Structure 1
């Protein structure tokens, strides 16, 4: 009651409800939330640490894995702390500025990550189809430049989004957002004005950016499959395709959930709200936690180096605990 009264007296504040219909179990939901977040941070920071320490890993493929780790850390950190405040302390208020900032970072990071996945597909294409020219085509400097280009692309596409939302003020709904974070369309639907521009812009940028990235990914893998089929040795087939396994797993986890979550919020009126919210949170929680595991398991060189540091820390801890 206090939160609702506060919201009505302060027109610059929204209320995030968490997961509607499941308020009684918010404290239990916070357990997998916080656990996933901790493992996400540990796994991704471990990847960044190992690659930065090992000169043999400072190659284009591992730089791209580091970019993916940075997007995972940023993505989950934009969502989880506020959600835990809702679950643990019932702190549901968020200012208009805070809401727009959260929307900007959420969508920007999503587009940067899509760009990184696209660059990973190109990296695999060059490594398999042009192995002799790989060191000259994809240098570390070129990969960093392409990564920055993905960042600039995301920022340019996302700057108009909070601006179009801010022009919808004043909002005439009750300023209650049935979600764990500020979603673009959830905020837009609270306006009593015309939200056609917001609805169309959100869909157009999703299809332009993701459509471009998925087209290049499909083209890269089409060329990879064609090149692999030309290799007479079955063992060589398997070795070539194994280098793509981790990337394929990450894409199969990321794109379907993101697209389903984005489209159901606009067109899935028959889907229960908590289903959409749980799916959206899986994208921001489960995937950032699983990505370093997938690359740690499927990439032998990275796996070996991570095992070396983990075993080294374990042995150090054991020796420190021995009595004098």
Structure 2
């Protein structure tokens, strides 16, 4: 998500909107090198689709997993599938076939979807933190508080917040005047990356609105996630027995890992975008790929390893498959 590499001044651009934008893979690499680099990318995408698809299938087919925690896990898996699907066509198209061009409107559509799924992931992680707090602090009322109807309402509220808060972004970009340089910094479209191709005198509203969106979505979500875990720790400490404390906290390990692998790259990318203009382009490129591709691949692995119910259901499914062969 680094700034586009350009040597021309853009302060005196007349109104112009490019029909296509040019995507960039990994700086300094040619077509052959991109094809070699595509191997780990393919592996990550394969794990993301198989892993999250398996999680959804297992939860749907296993009645014992029809409880609040696993409903939220289903939402996370669905969001991760959407996130991976948004970047896969352009990333692998560039790495495999050197397809760099993307239509301007198609770019804005991809950008909108990437940001929507990003905000959705943040929202789901917050909902999962609330789920863990209720399960630990109010275990006897857990299922009474988080009923199916309540979970559906939470899911719809998260979807509505993401879709509505990000809807102005494509229209704010459409009104801008762009310069002749139409090279993006990545193999996908990201709001700050597209915005930096425009006349810098026109982007004040875009910058302010982007800041408002990130503060009111991921910013607020991260604060409430931290608050939830402070309350969880206070509740666990009040239990007294060390063994019981560890057993209780162990139910949160998967979620903590999912939070870290999502928010750390996101914060790093935001900082690089705003204050890291002097950094080599490869830095922002790597962080952007980690942010968008790694969480969808690692989340199903983390939950498969740490969640005993998921692990048991997976074993049963594999044994059933082996018996039918």
TM-score by length of 1: 0.92
Per the alignment, in what secondary structure is the counterpart of residue 102 of structure 2?
strand
Higher relative contact order (CA 8 A, sep 6+): 2
| Cα offset, 1:202, TM superposition | 1.2
Aligned positions of 1:29-40 closer than 5 A: 29-40=37-48
Aligned positions of 1:31-110 closer than 5 A: 31-110=39-118
Partner residue of 1:187 out of 182, 194, 200: 194
Equivalents in 2 of 1:213, 1:56: separation in Å? 29
The count of corresponding residues between Structure 1 and Structure 2 is 307
Q: Deviations over 1:251-295 (max 9, x none)?
A: 111101111112212221121112111111112222111101111
Equivalents in 2 of 1:20, 1:203: separation in Å? 27
| Cα offset, 1:312, TM superposition | 2.2
Q: Deviations over 1:77-116 (max 9, x none)?
A: 1002211111111111101111000110011101011010
Superposition CA RMSD, Å: 1.3
Equivalents in 2 of 1:241, 1:254: separation in Å? 20
Per the alignment, in what secondary structure is the counterpart of residue 21 of structure 2?
strand
Kept in 2, the 8 Å contact 1:114–1:213? The answer is yes
Equivalents in 2 of 1:225, 1:21: separation in Å? 47
Aligned to 2:142: 134
| Cα offset, 1:61, TM superposition | 0.5
Structure 1 unpaired stretches of 5+ = 1-9, 318-324
* 2:154 equivalent to 1:146: yes
Q: Deviations over 1:195-216 (max 9, x none)?
A: 1111121122111212211121
Equivalents in 2 of 1:166, 1:299: separation in Å? 45
Aligned positions of 1:242-253 closer than 5 A: 242-253=250-261
| Cα offset, 1:233, TM superposition | 1.6
Kept in 2, the 8 Å contact 1:180–1:277? The answer is no
Equivalents in 2 of 1:114, 1:266: separation in Å? 21
| Cα offset, 1:22, TM superposition | 2.0
Structure 2 unpaired stretches of 5+ = 1-16
| Cα offset, 1:11, TM superposition | 3.3
Kept in 2, the 8 Å contact 1:64–1:120? The answer is yes
Aligned to 1:215: 223
Equivalents in 2 of 1:220, 1:179: separation in Å? 35
* 2:311 equivalent to 1:298: no
Bigger mean CA deviation after superposition, 115-124 or 263-272: 263-272
Q: Deviations over 1:205-250 (max 9, x none)?
A: 1112122111211221111111111112212101110111100011
